[in-house]
Amino acid sequence: MSAYNNIFGTPSEVLSGLAASSLVHGEALSTLKSLPAESVDCIITSPPYWKQREYEVSEYHSSLELGNEDQPQQYVAKLAAIFHAAKRILKPSGSLWLNIGDKYHNKNLMGMPWRVALAMQDDGWILRNDIIWDQMKGTQSPKDRLRDVYEHIFHFVKSQKYYYDSDSIRIKPDKLPSENGNGIVSATGVSGVKYKQQIAESKVLSEMEKQKALEALEETLGRLRNGELVDFRMTIRGAQRTYHGENGNISGRAKELEERGFFIMKSSAKGYIPSDIWRIVPEDKWRKDTHCAVFPEELLLNPIKATCPNHGIILDPFVGTGSSVAAALRMQRRAVGIDLSEVYLATARKRISEMAERLNTLPLLF
């Protein structure tokens, strides 16, 4: 029996756990208004860009199509209204990830991503990250400006406390600590010998501060031996410079240096959090459609892992050919996708059905 016998259903069936996914033919704003409040864990989407592409929608729906507005302010207002409706159905612990590109109009770069982001902040959204998606190649050959090779991905939340599983996206360290004749050595060769000497010879640390610094250093070396840390750096008052200035009212590290005489920066053996620059080639391995916009599944993995709990529910109000739904199902989450185009939804349904056939040995979603 296939694990995906109930792969498609209604939004209500997805929300209640009776189906894995739902693909809804309709306009984003009105469809969002029909969904129950605080019912989804994560929203991931890439809406049509302003004056950038023509999408495949029926003549009946053409007046509702987003992206063909005469003025950028009209586009921003429409998107802000859609995401206002989306906020209602997002759980307090939820996140919204928005991928959006910019546009040159009359040779003027419009700043559309930030116009939208600022409008959303004005509506109460909290912006946690601006990720730069480096697509690693350009598609244009302008003669009077540089090529543009990146887009923005904004991470918004509606509450200051929200679900975030940082351990699920950590990048594991390439090197581990090792032992030599002098004891434990960090992944980058730090043994602590130089720090001990600097503490002992310091003319600016008090005897109490020296004792506390040595105790903290030994504790750090012990965590290296136990496999809890892979690396560290110590800053000692008068021996190293501070990283972010010397004003204790601005820099927490500077304040720690003033009060304790030292601080230690540690690298966990769990690995480190990814940066806010993602280098991902736009083309997905799966490309069988005529959709003009690209939303590769690889781009969706970290947002899903970090901000959607296991077996949680993902929503994409501009689902296109289904990248977000496909990624959600691969990662054992349920998903609801909305789109104006029957053509794109048909492609999404075929794509997800084919994927389900290939992955029917996965555990049941529910």
Rounded to 10 deg, the angle between the 72-89 and 112-122 helix axes is 50
Residues 323, 294: one domain?
yes
Give pLDDT, residue 1.
34
Least confident of 123-127, 251-255, 262-266, 327-331: 251-255
Structural domain includes residue 19: yes
Residues 57, 111: one domain?
yes
53-69 pLDDT, tens digit per residue, is 555 544 444 456 788 89
Q: What is the mean pLDDT of residues 103-108?
A: 90
Please tell me which residue, 314 or 247, carries the higher pLDDT value. Answer: 314
Residues 33, 128: one domain?
yes
299-311 pLDDT, tens digit per residue, is 999 999 999 999 9
Residue 52 has pLDDT above 80, yes or no: no
Structural domain includes residue 264: yes
In angstroms, the CA 177 to CA 212 distance is: 24
Give pLDDT, residue 182.
74
- What's the pLDDT band for 40 if we cut at 50, 70, 90? very high
Number of domains present in the structure of the chain = 2
Structural domain includes residue 292: yes
Q: Considering the chain, what percentage of its residues have pLDDT values greater than 70?
A: 86
Q: At which of 247, 268, 289 does a domain end?
A: 268
Residues 35, 134: one domain?
yes
Structural domain includes residue 363: no
- What is the average pLDDT score of the chain? 88
Residues 330, 223: one domain?
no
Q: What is the mean pLDDT of residues 129-136?
A: 95
Residues 189, 43: one domain?
no
Q: At which of 227, 251, 268 does a domain end?
A: 268
Q: At which of 268, 302, 327 does a domain end?
A: 268
Structural domain includes residue 364: no
Residues 83, 184: one domain?
no
Give pLDDT, residue 301.
95
269-295 pLDDT, tens digit per residue, is 999 999 999 999 886 555 454 444 567
Structural domain includes residue 217: yes
Structure tokens at 251: 């820099």
Structural domain includes residue 365: no
Residues 193, 325: one domain?
no
Residues 239, 344: one domain?
no
Residue 2 has pLDDT above 50, yes or no: no
Structural domain includes residue 30: yes
Residue 18 sits in which domain range? 11-169+275-358
Residues 92, 38: one domain?
yes
